[in-house]
Amino acid sequence: MTYLITGGAGFIGTHLCRHLLNEGHNVKILDCFNTQIHGDQKKLPSDVSKDVELFTGDIRDRELLIKAIAKTNGIIHLAAETGTGQSMYEIDRYFSVNVQGTAVLLDILQNHEISKSIETIVVASSRAIYGEGAYKCMVHGTIYPDSRNSIDLAMGKFDPGCPFCTCSIKVIPTNEIAPFKPMSVYGLTKQVQEQAILMFARTRDINGIALRYQNVYGPGQSLKNPYTGILAVFSTLAKRGQDIEVYEDGQESRDFVYIDDVINATVSALKHKEKFVGGINVGSGEATKIETVAEEINSFFGKKSSIFTSGAFRIGDIRHNVADLSLAKDVLRFEPKTHFREGVSKFLQWAENETYVENISYSNSVNELTIRGLMGQAKIKKYE
């Protein structure tokens, strides 16, 4: 089979490329080598570059995309701008790349004869489309809270509440029937992106699968990109023995899913033979506190850093998330194999040997959010 991976030079893309090449498939990659992600590295890793057909350019470049799609059996659409915080002020860029880029792709597939060989489209969606996701209220059952407001956050009230009563609520796994309630521009563009792909797949009667990735991590992720995730940020600080700031009170949690599990789920979606069009969660099914993440990373590097929870918060961030993986198990036969402690150890062993990257870009990203009124400070400060 011949597969095209848009955004294939990125973290997930290169891992997926290696997997498909090892299985004997032909792989094409289209990527613009975004400086924010790749820095000055404008080429593929040497272990894949000799075996793939590379198209260097933007997902919105129609003529280039037509060439890349030709004689392709399946498309894995990873090309997108990522970063919850950045999306809240670079709105035009996020809509242009994520939404318009997908529109160009679908317009070609609908109107050009080269699309006749396409059997499946897999799109990288995100758990960000759910917003806060599912919670349980003792009175009202399963609920889906709205975004937390800045007044409550500034008072140190970080947990969302029931919109119908004053009862406290508890996070529960979010499944695919949860309503779309994105709380960032990034989440909104991912919702539009996945729904456009799924609508097209239904119209053309082909498989269309939107994989709603949770927080993906592992060796090979960008340590240059300030929006790449807290594992990269924390590990860079811990290597240098610098203070690690944890936002809010450190009790917020995420579903961290290891890259090998993500690739297994993605390949299963790509090869799925039965008819399927829809979204599927891909995660670990476990919630890990951010405070725990900082402690694990600091411990690995010899506890050289001080960890403090600052009470700072970002507008558009969620409080908790954990994925319900029932549908992934039923449709893709997917079950995650790597628990967080094992996965983070593998990531840190890799990161330890990577060249240190100065955190100027991370500091700049925080300053950008602050200037635009997207950062706040709660009236608490706890040091550990």
| Residues designated as active site | 186
Q: Are 245 and 310 in contact (CB under 8 A)?
A: yes
Distance of CA 254 to the CA centre of its chain: 12
State the Cα–Cα distance between residues 2 and 217, nearest whole angstrom. 27
Nearest of 238, 228, 224 to residue 85 by alpha carbon: 228
Dihedral sign (CA 133, 127, 258, 250): negative
State the Cα–Cα distance between residues 282 and 285, nearest whole angstrom. 9
Q: How far is CA 15 from CA 47, 48, 266, in A?
A: 11, 10, 11
Q: Are strands 375-377 and 312-314 parallel, antiparallel or unpaired?
A: antiparallel
For residue 93, how many C-alpha atoms fall within 13 Å in the half-sphere facing its CB? 12
Q: Are 197 and 106 in contact (CB under 8 A)?
A: yes
319-341 in b/e form (b: 16+ CB < 10 A) is: bbbbbbbebbeebbebebebebe
Burial of residue 286 (CB within 10 Å: 0-12, 13-18, 19+) is: middle
Q: What are phi and psi of 220, to 5 degrees?
A: 100, -10
In DSSP notation, 17-30 reads HHHHHHTT-EEEEE
Contacts 24+ apart (CB under 8 A), 92-101: 94/185, 94/186, 94/189, 95/185, 95/189, 96/60, 97/59, 97/60, 98/186, 98/189, 98/190, 98/192, 98/193, 99/189, 99/192, 99/193, 99/196, 100/60, 101/58, 101/59, 101/60
Strands (E), 18-66: 26-31, 53-56
